[in-house]
Every structure is written in structure tokens, then in C-alpha cells.
Amino acid sequence: MKIIITGGAGFIGSHVVRLFVTKYPEYQILNLDALTYAGNLENLRDIESAPNYRLVKGDITDQAFVDQLFATEEPDAVIHLAAESHVDRSITDPLAFVKTNVLGTVHLLNAAKNLWKPLGYEGKVFYHVSTDEVYGSLDFGPDMFTEDTPYDPRSPYSASKASSDHFVRAWHHTYHMPVKLSNCSNNYGPNHFPEKLIPLAIHRIQHGQPVPVYGKGENVRDWLFVKDHATAIDAVFHKGKVGETYNIGGVNEWANLELIHLLCDTLDEKTGKEKGTSRKLITFVTDRAGHDLRYAIDSSKIMNELGWKPSVTFEQGLSQTVDWYLENQAWLNNVTSGAYQTYYQQQYAAR
């Protein structure tokens, strides 16, 4: 089987590529990645010379390129992870999210349909990896997103992902494309670009810089270790039913401020600092526009039907993550040099 994995040089994508390349040596894995600011080939150094792995640098917003790639490579399956993913960036540049997340997805769907429909779709699958943010925002309390929760996206990012989910389902209903979807909660782990809360906070604590907490830090997110997301994607890809959606989460809700406290204490302990040192860096800043209050996701469908469950607790996963960043200073220094500095100074100054 030949699988195109889009966005394979990114954070989640690189963990999925590694899992598939190592676990399924009989598959050919083609990593289609535009290598934007968030894509990093360092994330794949350990597997880049595997015989069943290949990188194709290219942009899914270019329909002619995507058509040509599908015609030449004739993939059997697509696992689509390429996306603009940062909510704050979507607030300042929404069009980039429409282009990559909406148009890019439709280009892939078109190319897959043109290749597969004449063959009757036998043995083919288009798997779209999405987010729990499409469901909107919950109040504090027991409610959770299920696969039946109506879509209510509220940021340009989540609106673009909701739209791409709808297009994937539309190709299933209209053209009979065999599709699968999953919607996952917040990921964390090695290789996470330091614009997102956890790696950003680790980077700033290491440099003794203020750690920005939006609003009062009361917003709640459910966190899942990225390697557990990769195993969930493996389960959905191989065992999930065509036309169905699977929610994926860590059953692990944290208010942002509580999470940052745990992170500060973990870093203090691992770097031999007195407890409380890093907490002094916490700085409350202007809230994100339209900040969703709470995400909580019910993963019972994937757990019960596909037998998937997270392999680590949050404390274990966070400890592994902090160790990884402490041991991979070069990776962090590399991605935080140059354009990152300008971007982040603007982001921070705006608050």
C-alpha cells in the first residue's frame, strides 16, 4: 500500500509518519509537506533514510501540482494532516487558513476522486485528521463533545477546519469517496513548535522570560500526548468504519493556569531550581479574541469500538516532554531563531 501523509514534517504529522514507517515496513510512505515555518525535517532525521519513506516537498494549495502528484504516484490512501493550526495566527491572517485548510483539502479530495473513482474506490481511503475545536466551546461542567455534537466553530482556524470536515463528508456523500475522520483535543509532546502554550512556556521558562497567560488562565483544554494521537490515527486508519468520525482525547482536562503551574514546578525540579522560581515568570496578558472557554471530548467511541486508549498519564507525558526539550536545545534554538523572533515579538507586544 502506498500512503500519502500530508504535513508529515509537522508536529503531529512527524509522529504519524514515524509510527507508520517503522510499524508497517511493507507500506510505502510519501510525506507531502510544504515545509512552512512549522514543518521541520529535523523531526524525521531518524527515519529519513528508511527504504519505505520518501519526502515530496510541495504545496496542497497548488491544484495542478497535487493532480500531477496523484497521477504519477497513484497512492492507495491519504492521511491528511497538513494544516495551518495556530488559532492566534488565524486571527491575524484568516485567509492563509482558508487557503491551506479549505482549498488544500478540496484539492486533495479532487485529485483522489479523479484517480480512484474510475477504479471503483476498491481498497482506497481518504482519512482527514481534524480538531475538537469544530464543536465550539463548552461552559464549565460535565458536558463533553461527542461525535453527534453540532458544529459551532468560533475562530477562523476552527471555521476552516469545520469547513474542511464538511468537504470531506460531502465527497463521501456525493462521489462515494471512502473517507474517515477524527477530531482530536490539544496535543503536546516532542517536536511541538513553540508558538503553542506548552512548548512556548518551556522555551520562555528556560530563558527566564515572562510566560504569557491569556486572560485569567481559567480556560480549560483536554490534553493528549502526541504519540497517543498517532496510535489513535493508526487505529482509525486500519479499523475505523468508512464514513465515520472518531473523537480522540486524553480524558485530561486542565485549566491553563493549573497546567502552567505544573509545568513550572516540573521544570524547577528537573533543572535543580527552588520550587516556585519559574512560577514568578507567569504574566497575565490580554485575552485571545473570542477565546473558547472549554473543550472536553468524549472518546468512548474510539475506546469501545477500536480498543484504543492513551498509554501515558499527563504527568508522565509532560515529564517526557520536558526531558525532550531539555535534551534538544539545538532543535529549540534552531526553530526560535530568525523569523520566529519577529513573529513572537509582534504577538507579545500586541498583548
8 A C-beta contact, residue 128 and residue 164:
yes
Is 175 an annotated catalytic residue? no
Q: Is 301 in the site for ligand DAU (CB under 6 A)?
A: no
Write the DSSP symbol of residue 315: H
151: annotated active-site residue: no
Q: Which of 148, 33, 139 is nearest to 79 (CA)?
A: 33
Q: Is 15 in the site for ligand DAU (CB under 6 A)?
A: no
Distance separating alpha carbons of residues 159 and 165, to the nearest angstrom = 10
**CB of 18 or CB of 196, closer to ligand DAU:** 196
Q: Does 81 bind ligand DAU (CB under 6 A)?
A: no
Sequence-distant contacts of 263-266: CB under 8 A, at least 24 apart: 263/198, 263/201, 263/202, 263/205, 263/318, 263/322, 264/201, 264/205, 264/211, 266/318, 266/319, 266/322
Answer yes or no whether residue 232 interacts with ligand DAU by CB under 6 A.
no
Alpha-carbon span 230 to 232, nearest angstrom: 5
DSSP states along 46-58 = GGTT-TTEEEEE-
251 forms part of the interface with ligand DAU (CB under 6 A): no
Is 27 an interacting residue with respect to ligand DAU (CB under 6 A)? no
86 scored as a contact of ligand DAU (CB under 6 A): yes
Among residues 75 and 212, whose Cβ is nearest to ligand DAU? 212
Nearest approach, Cβ of residue 133 and ligand DAU (Å): 5
Q: What is the distance of C-alpha 246 from the center of its chain? A: 15
Count how many residues are written for the chain.
Answer: 351
Give the footprint of ligand DAU on residues 177-216 (CB under 6 A).
185-186, 196-197, 200, 212-214
Q: Are 255 and 193 in contact (CB under 8 A)?
A: no
Q: Does 295 bind ligand DAU (CB under 6 A)?
A: yes
Per-residue binder mask for ligand DAU (CB under 6 A), 104-133, x = binder = ---------------------------xxx
Nearer to ligand DAU (CB atom), residue 132 or residue 253: 132
Binding residue (CB under 6 A) for ligand DAU from 256, 299, 321, 336:
256
Q: Compute the least distance from the CB of residue 5 to ligand DAU, in Å.
A: 17
Q: Is 218 exposed, middle or buried (0-12, 13-18, 19+ CB in 10 A)?
A: middle
Q: Least distance from C-beta 20 to ligand DAU, angstroms?
A: 21
What is the closest distance, in whole angstroms, from the C-beta atom of residue 128 to ligand DAU in the complex? Answer: 13
User: How distant is the alpha carbon of residue 255 from its chain centre?
Assistant: 20
By rule CB under 6 A, what count of residues binds ligand DAU? 19
Catalytic residue among 127, 157, 295, 344: 157
* Selection from 327, 163, 292, 122 nearest residue 222 by Cα: 292
Q: Is 231 within 8 Å of 16 (Cβ atoms)?
A: no
CB contact at 8 A, 82 and 32: yes
Query: Does 76 interact with ligand DAU (rule: CB under 6 A)?
Result: no
Using the rule CB under 6 A, is 221 a contact of ligand DAU?
yes
Residue 323 designated active-site: no
Residue among 43 and 256 whose Cβ is closer to ligand DAU = 256
Residues of the shown chain interacting with ligand DAU in the complex, contacts defined by CB under 6 A: 85-87, 131-133, 185-186, 196-197, 200, 212-214, 219, 221, 256, 288, 295
Kindly list the catalytic residues. 132-133, 157
